[in-house]
A and B are shown apart, each in its own frame.
Chain A
Amino acid sequence: MAAIVKVNTKTGLSKADLKALGTSLLPFLLLVILSVFVFRVFLGRVNTQRTSLSTSRRDENILREKQELLSELNSEVVPLVEPIAFAIPHKNASLMMIAQIKQQASIRGLFVTNIQTGPAIAEGNILRYEVQFDVDGDQTQILDFVSTLSSVAPISKLESLTLTIVGGASRGEVTISVFAAPLPESLPAIAEPITEFNESDLETITRLTSLVPPPFFEITAQEPVVRENPFD
């Protein structure tokens, strides 16, 4: 009782005042606390959802653009794969070049002998094969033949040519480098954008596809057939 009197003396508020204040301020405080809690929860959730939506829409746009680009390129790109794969093969570059050498030489009536090829030499992500051969025939034809190798697939480099002319007969000792490169091992992630081919890329593609392909093709396996019984 002494305490209530003390309070009353200090604040000048009666029990009825305190009750009235309590019944109005308590809901007010509860409302404030509830509002802070609810708004924090909702705003946090809204922010998370907005981030998620923006990521999802960005991915959706990337996928849409990728789908449009791939649909547009579908008919143009697929036929280019073979000539490009001949220009920079992933294997057998030296065999392809030997086939080209033999064909180009026979067109000009030249004789190619002593064809030798070395093992693959890795130079970064490119494999280099050295091919050496001798060629006999007319001097002009030999030079023309060597020049022609620049326009055949696979891509090659003239390392050296020694042309010896004795009594009108010419012999060329030729060393060239042929190149191959391993295929890309994985596709980019599905949501990773694909860029269009620029002007420089198209020029490179044109140059690669203009190379004469090697004069052989892959023999596909024959489908199994039912053999006739010879005793029937």
Chain B
Amino acid sequence: MAINLLPTDLAPQRSIAKFVGFIRRLNLIGFSLFVVVTISLLGYTLLLSSQISSSNSQKEILSASLSALQQTEQAVVLLKDRIVKANTLLPLVDTYQQAEVFQELALLAPPDSFIREVRLSTEVTELTLLFTNSSSLVNFVTALSQNENYVRIEISAFSFNPTLGYLVTFSLFI
């Protein structure tokens, strides 16, 4: 039989000893968990570092490859710039349509009439015609009124000369 030779007041109380035992087990488990989690975090950090460095080296390779494509990139940037500006400018080219529309209109002029002057501008087309007789004037006005290219037609000048005939200026609004 073992005999406890230590004085009883040197040993902790039983409840304290039990609590201390629990804390020590908790310490052991906690420390083990701490070691495992720390190693895992360290590993994860190393993995992330390696992935970052791999991504950076990949970026460097791609940047070098892009440097070789700089001429193409310049071309793309120029095209994009020109497309934006062309979208503003190309509608202005439509002003030339007035000349085309007038070419069609000139065909409506009767054979015994003469075009004296045409003024084409962005807002209005002014056409001065000489008609040798009233019937050709009426025919032209009838044909003009049926033309759908102009939203408004005005007679801005009208004169009659017994020798020449009728000199009429039309203002045609697109």
- Chain A residues at the B interface, C-beta cutoff of 8 Å: 13-17, 19-21, 23-25, 27-28, 31-32, 34-35, 38-39, 42-43, 45-46, 49-50, 52-53, 56-57, 59-60, 63-64, 66-67, 70-71, 73-74, 77-78, 80-81, 84-85, 87-88, 125-126, 139-140, 143-144, 146-147, 149-150, 155-166, 177, 179, 181, 183-184, 187-188, 190, 194, 197, 201, 204-205, 207-208
Contacts and interface: CB of A to CB of B under 8 A. Distances in A.
11 contacts: A46-B41, A49-B45, A70-B66, A77-B72, A84-B78, A157-B122, A158-B99, A158-B120, A159-B121, A194-B76, A205-B79
Interface residues of B, number: 75
Given A60-B55, A84-B82, A165-B114, A78 B96 contact: no
A125 B85 contact: yes
Contacts, number: 226
B58 to A, nearest CB: 5
B138 interface: no
Contacts of B20: 20-21, 23-24
Nearest to B52: A53
Contacts of B80: 201
Given A17-B13, A143-B99, 10 more contacts: A19-B12, A21-B12, A42-B42, A43-B41, A49-B45, A71-B72, A78-B72, A78-B75, A143-B100, A158-B120
A17 B16 contact: yes
A49 B48 contact: yes
B62 to A, nearest CB: 4
A158 B96 CA distance: 6
B17 A157 contact: no
B170 to A, nearest CB: 14
B76 to A, nearest CB: 6
Contact of B118 (A35, A66, A85, A162): A162
A164 B117 contact: yes
Given A16-B10, A81-B78, A126-B89, A158 B44 contact: no
B92 interface: yes
B152 interface: no
A157 B52 contact: no
Contact of B96 (A147, A165, A184): A147
Contacts of B115: 139, 163, 165
B75 A143 contact: no
A28 B37 contact: no
Contacts of B103: 140, 143-144, 147
Contact of B45 (A42, A78, A81): A42
A156 B93 contact: yes
Given A78-B72, A187-B73, A16 B12 contact: yes
Contacts of B11: 16
B135 interface: no
Contacts of B114: 165
A195 B122 CA distance: 36
